[in-house]
Amino acid sequence: MLIEKHEELSIRMQCFLLDIAPSSYYYEPCGETEENLQIMRHLDELYMDFPFYGTRRMQQELKSFGFAANRKRIQRLMRLMSLQTLYPKPKTSVRNIEHIVYSYLLRNVAIERNNQVWSSDITYIPMKGGFFYLTAVMDWFSRFVVGWQISNSMESTFCIEALKDSFSYGKPEIFTQIKVHSTPQRRSLQS
């Protein structure tokens, strides 16, 4: 701290030299009230289940738990907790001109046999204590899953193992990664 108890300079003189009010040196911030702490706990639980809820929806949910908090209070507490509503931001689909655009290999290609086109994807499975990650390799013609692995971490080794396991069924002419965007499943707060 810049201000210390000193024999030659008083606290008032040190505050004057630093151009701050002496009251700001003696000020001790008071913590949040017990009611605000309870609201913050519920906000945290709600945010974990519904990160796309804004302050208006959070206010409605808190009202169902018996908390009468206005929107500005919820905004302040969410800011204090560093919680931001997740929603698509503007211009998310505008591509960066500097990025390389790869040609789509399957345009006008008729998929007529096994091992012609394979694809891979990764997804997560929500569990009580976290997530499990599942990767699968699929043959597009037969829709057969030729390899899969599950892991509790997002390391690349389990994806590579799934691909190595799938080579027991053959080798693809074209290998691609599918991109499917899913919306989060809504869970009830009472469960």
**How many separate helices (H) and strands (E) can be counted in the chain?**
6, 4
CA atoms of 124 and 127, how far apart (whole Å): 9
pLDDT score for 178:
63
Express each pLDDT in 20-30 by its tens digit: 898 888 888 88
Between 103 and 172, the higher pLDDT residue: 172
Q: Report the range of poorest mean pLDDT among 16-25, 122-131, 166-175, 181-190.
A: 181-190
Write out the H or E segment, with its range, that includes residue 166: helix 157-166
Q: Whole-angstrom Cα distance, residue 117 to residue 139? A: 6
d(CA 38, CA 20): 35
Average pLDDT over residues 61-89: 92
| Residues 87/107, Cβ–Cβ less than 8 Å | no
* Alpha-carbon distances, residue 175 vs 119, 126, 139 (angstroms): 6, 28, 9
Evaluate whether 75 touches 100 at the Cβ level (below 8 Å).
Answer: no
Return the structure tokens found at 157.
């080794």
Report residue 184's pLDDT band, with 50, 70 and 90 as the boundaries.
very low
Amino acid identity at 63: K
Mean pLDDT of 145-153: 93
- Rounded to the nearest 5 percent, the helix, strand and coil shares of the chain are 30, 15, 50
pLDDT in the model for residue 181: 43
Domain assignments of the chain as residue spans, ordered by start? 40-86, 117-177
**pLDDT at residue 11, as a whole number:** 86
pLDDT of 185 > 60? The answer is no
Least confidently predicted of 17-26, 39-48, 66-75, 177-186: 177-186
The share of the chain scoring above pLDDT 70, in percent, equals 92
List all residues 6 or more positions away from 123 whose beta carbon is below 8 Å from its beta carbon. 133, 134, 135, 182
**Does residue 102 register a pLDDT over 50?**
yes
Per-residue confidence (pLDDT) for residue 189, from 0 to 100 = 44
Please say if the pLDDT value at position 113 is more than 70.
yes
Tokens of 10: 């008083």
Mean pLDDT of the region 95-108: 85
Using CA atoms, how far apart are residues 137 and 166, in angstroms rounded to an integer? 7
